[in-house]
Amino acid sequence: MLKAQGYVGSPQNRVDGRAKVTGEARYAAEFDAPDLAYGIVISSAIAKGRIASIDISSALAIPGVVQVFTHENRSGTAWLDRNYRDETAPPGSPFRPLYDDQVVYSGQPIALVVADEYEIAAHAASLVRIAYETDTHMTDLDIKRSEAYVPPKKRSGVKAPPSPRGDAEEAFTQAPVKVHAEYRIAIEHHNPMETHASTVIYEQDGTLTIHEKTQGPQNSQSYVSSVFGLSSDQVRVVSPFIGGAFGSGLRPQYQLFLAVMAALELKRSVRVVLTRDQMFTFGYRPQAIQTVSLGANPDGMLQSIMHDAIQTTSTFEDYQEVVVNWSNLLYHCDNVKLTYRLAQVDTATPIDMRAPGAATGVTAIETAMDELAYATGIDPVELRLRNYAEVDEANKRDFSSKELRACYQLGAERFGWAQRNPEPRSMRDGRELVGWGMATGVWEAIMQKTAARAVLSADGHLEVSCATADIGTGTYTILTQIAADIMGLPMERVTTRIGDSSLPKSPVEGGSWTAASAGTAVQIACQTVRESLFKYAREMDASPLANASLEHVSFADGRIVLTNDPETGVSFTDIMRARGVDKVEAEEKASPGMMTSMRYSGYSHSAVFAEVKVDEELGIIRVTRIVSAVAAGTILNPKTARSQIIGGIVFGIGMALEEESMLDHNLGRFMNHNLAEYHVPVNADIHDIDVIFVSEHDDKLNPMGIKGLGEIGIVGTAAAIGNAIFHATGKRIRDYPITIDKLL
C-alpha cells in the first residue's frame, strides 16, 4: 500500500526547504502586529538570595516605556493557586517567573521592561536599579555529590534503573579482570540558532494567538491557559517553523509566561525574545559523575556490571534521565547493579538535550568497555560481540528487532577496522598520531499517542495535519511522503500542516518518537479516507469497480484503478461528484499499544567508528573520519535521515571535544554564555562523516516499522572519539569534553 510511487524509503528533498532558505518561513520573533510592544528580560545577577529593592522609576521615565513588570507589581494569575506542571515537567514545583522576591538561580528573570520599541526597552532595562541580599549558594557537584539521593518521585516516561540481579559486588571481587573508573560529563547548553521567542498577538476579543518557539504547541497552549486561567479556545499557539531546539523547546520557558502576562495586562500585543546569553538561563544537559565497574574473565566475558550516576538538578525540581540502564541493555551479564542519584545545585532545572541520559550513560559504559578491551587484549568489536545481549535482560523480553551485529560488521568493513594495529601510539600520519576507536549507540524506539487528520478534496488535493512540530528534523517531508504514497498522489498535491495547537492532538515533538507516532497517525487517517473513497467508488452508478476489493485496486494519479487493468477506474473527482460531496476526511489516532509492541523491547542501535589525528606538541585533536552504522527500522527518507545522523554526530563531536558550560562557583554563574566562548563544532572541525543505514525489518512496533532517528546519531559518538584518542596517544581521558589542557 505504501509503494504507490515509492516515496517512502526514497531520498526526497525537504518540502519546506525552499521556504526555509528563501526567508518565506517565518519564526516566532518575525510575526508582527499593529502596535506591537517589545519586552526585554532582566536577569538576576546573583545565584541565591532575595531582591531587597528594585527601582524602576528611571526606566519608567524614558519616553516610550510602557511598563516594567516585577514581582512587586505583577498581576495576580491563576498560576499562584495552581501548581501546573507541563507535559514534560519533572517532579517538583516549576520555576515561577516574578513570583516573589526570592532568587533561586543566577540568570533567573526578575523583571520585564516593555516599550514601544526594542531599543527603548533595552536602554530602559539598563536603568533599573536592583539591590540584592545574597545567601550562600552552591553549584559545585563535587561538593554536593556527598548529598546525592535517589529521586523519591519518578519522572513520568523515565524508567528507573532495574532492580539489581545476582551479586555484582561479589562477582566484581572475584573477577580476574577488572575495570573501575570514574567518568565525567560537563554541563552543556543546547544553543539552537533561533533563540527562544514569543510573539503574543492580543486580539480585540481578548483571545491570544501566540507565535512561539516550541516543540509542543499544545503543551504551550495548555500551559498558558492553565496558568492564566483562560479557556483553551482563548489561546492558540502556532509554531510552524523552529530554528533548532534539541530539547530546549520541550517545556514552556519564561519568555512565554512574561510575554503573555504583559499582553493580558496591557491588552496589547507583546514580543519577548531571549538574547543569546539568556539561552544559558534555563535548562541544560546536567553535569554527571559516573562510576563504572566491569568484572570479566580473561576471555572478556562480563561477570559483573556496576554503573552509578549522579547528576545535577535544581533545588526545586527532580529532573531525571535514563543514564545507567543502557549498560545491561547492551551487554549480557548475570550480576548487575545500576544506581542513579541526583544532587541539587543552585541553577535552573536541567532539561532534555539530544539523547538525554543515553548520550551521558553510554559515553561512560562505552569508554569502560574500551578499557576492558585493553585489559583483556581483545579487539573492541569482538569484545562487544562476545557479550552481545540477545534479549532485554532487565525484563527478559525479546527485542522487536535488533540488527546491531550487522551495524558492527558493516561499520567495521566501511571503516577498514581490520587494518587497525591495537597498540596505542602505533599509527602515525606525519607529525600526527592516528587513533581508531569505536563504540555502540542505542536509543529507545518510542511511540506516543498521536492523532492526525486527512482531508481529500474533490480537486485531488490532500491535506494532512497534526499538532506536532518540525524542529528541523524533516517531519513535514516524511508525513507528506507517507500521505502521498497511500493516496497515490504526487507529493506536490499533498500539504502537511503541523505546528499549531488547533490541529489534532499530539504530544511534544521529542524522544525520536515523532516519525513513528505522527507518521502512523497520518498513515491510518489516510487509509480511512482511502477506504471511504473506495466504498463511494463501488457504490457509484455503473461503477467499473463495483465488484473490486480494496486489495485489487490501486490509487494512482488521482484515480482508483484495477491493479491488473489500470485502464479501468474512476477519478477521485468523479467519485466525489457522484456522491455529492466535495471532500472526504478522517481523523485517526495512533497509539503505542496498537500492535504487539508492549510485549517487546524496541530500540535503535548503532556502531560508531572514529578516526582522530592528534598533534601531540599542540594537543590539537581533529576528528578526521566517522563511520556510523545505524539500525533504526524503516528509513522513511534516506536523505533527511542521513542529515539527522550527521547532525547527531556533529553534536557528539562537540560533546567529545568542545561543549562545556563553565560555572564560576564563586558567583554560581555560567561564565561562557555566548558562542565565542561556548564552543560548538564549526565547519572546519568537521571532516568525513559516513552514515550507513543497516537494513532492519521491524513488524512489532508500528505498521511501517519506524524507530526514529533524532537521538541515535549522538549516542556513542563521544565515546568512540575518546577511545580513538586513547588509541592515538595512550592517554585515557575520562572527563568530557577532552580539551587540549587535559591531553597535554
Contact set with ligand MOS (CB under 6 A): 215, 246-247, 250, 352-354, 356, 510-511
If 0-12 CB within 10 Å is exposed, 13-18 middle and 19+ buried, where does residue 515 land?
buried
- Cβ(12)–Cβ(638) below 8 Å: no
Instruction: Map grid coordinates 467499473 to a residue.
Output: 544
Question: Which residues, other chains included, contact 507 with Cβ-Cβ below 8 Å and sequence gap of 6+?
Answer: 87, 216, 218, 219, 448, 449, 450, 468, 513, 517
| Residue 183 or 246 with smaller CB distance to ligand MOS | 246
Of 70 and 468, the one with the shorter C-beta distance to ligand MOS is 468
d(CA 283, CA 679): 18
Shortest separation between residue 691's beta carbon and ligand MOS, angstroms: 20
Residues 232, 238, 239, 245, CA torsion sign: negative
Q: What's the min distance (Å) between Cβ of 509 and ligand MOS?
A: 7
Quickly list DSSP for 502-564: TSSP---S-TT-HHHHHHHHHHHHHHHHHHHHHHHHHTSTT-TTTT--GGGEEEETTEEEETT
Shortest distance (Å) from residue 648 CB to ligand MOS: 11
Q: Judged by CB, which is closer to ligand MOS: 283, or 295?
A: 283
Q: How far is the CB of 510 from ligand MOS (least distance, A)?
A: 3
Q: 454 with 463: CB under 8 angstroms?
A: yes
Give me the least distance between CB of 632 and ligand MOS, in Å please.
15
Among residues 437 and 652, whose Cβ is nearest to ligand MOS?
Answer: 652
Sheet of 427-429: strands edge to edge? 427-429, 432-444, 603-615, 620-631, 688-693
Contacts of 666 (CB under 8 A, 6+ apart): none
CB-wise, 604 or 729, nearer to ligand MOS? 604
Q: Closest by alpha carbon to 621, among 717, 742, 713? A: 742
Q: How many CB atoms lie within 10 A of CB 209?
A: 18
Q: Which three cell numbers stand for residue 320?
A: 531525571
Distances (CA, A) of 21 to 24, 25, 73, 425, 469: 8, 8, 43, 45, 18
Burial of 76 (0-12, 13-18, 19+ CB in 10 A): exposed
What minimum distance in Å lies between the beta carbon of 693 and ligand MOS?
A: 21
Residue 39 vs 652, nearer CB to ligand MOS: 652
Strand partners of residue 405: none
Our CB check for ligand MOS shows the closer of 476 and 609 to be: 476
The residue among 215 and 304 lying less far from ligand MOS, judged by its C-beta, is: 215
Amino acid at 505: K
Q: Give whichever of 487 and 516 is closer to ligand MOS, judged by the CB atom.
A: 516
DSSP 247: T
Whether cis (ω within 30° of 0) applies to the bond prior to 507 is no
Question: What's the distance, Cα to Cα, between the start and end of the chain in Å?
Answer: 59
Q: How far is the CB of 475 from ligand MOS (least distance, A)?
A: 12
Q: What is the C-alpha to C-alpha distance for residues 608 and 384, in angstroms, rounded to an integer?
A: 13
In this structure, the chain runs to a length of 744
Rounded Cα distance between 494 and 480, Å, is 6
Residue number, 121 or 250, with CB nearest to ligand MOS: 250
Least distance to ligand MOS from the beta carbon of 226, Å? 22
Query: Of 403, 658, 659, 711, which residue is the catalytic one?
Result: 711
- Distance CA(87)–CA(99), nearest Å, equals 21
Q: Kind and range of the H or E element at 109?
A: strand 109-115
Nearest-approach distance from CB 443 to ligand MOS, in angstroms:
10
Instruction: Tell me whether residue 244 or residue 638 sits nearer to ligand MOS (CB atom).
Output: 244
Residue with cell 509503494: 3
Minimum CB–partner distance for residue 699 and ligand MOS (Å): 26
106 vs 222, beta carbon nearer ligand MOS: 222
Three cell numbers written together for 257 = 509566561
C-alpha cell at 1: 500500500
d(CA 32, CA 54): 31
Minimum Å distance from CB 212 to ligand MOS?
A: 16
Give the full edge-to-edge strand order of the sheet including 177-185: 336-344, 302-313, 288-296, 177-185, 735-736
Q: Is 711 a catalytic residue?
A: yes
Q: Give Cα 431 to chain centroid, integer Å.
A: 39
Number of alpha helices (DSSP H) and beta strands (DSSP E) in the chain: 17, 31
Select from 463, 514, 465, 468 the least CA-distant residue to 489. Answer: 463
Could you tell me the smallest distance in angstroms from the CB atom of residue 246 to ligand MOS? 6
Phi-psi region of 411 (alpha: psi -120 to 50; beta: other; left: phi over 0): alpha
Catalytic residues: 711
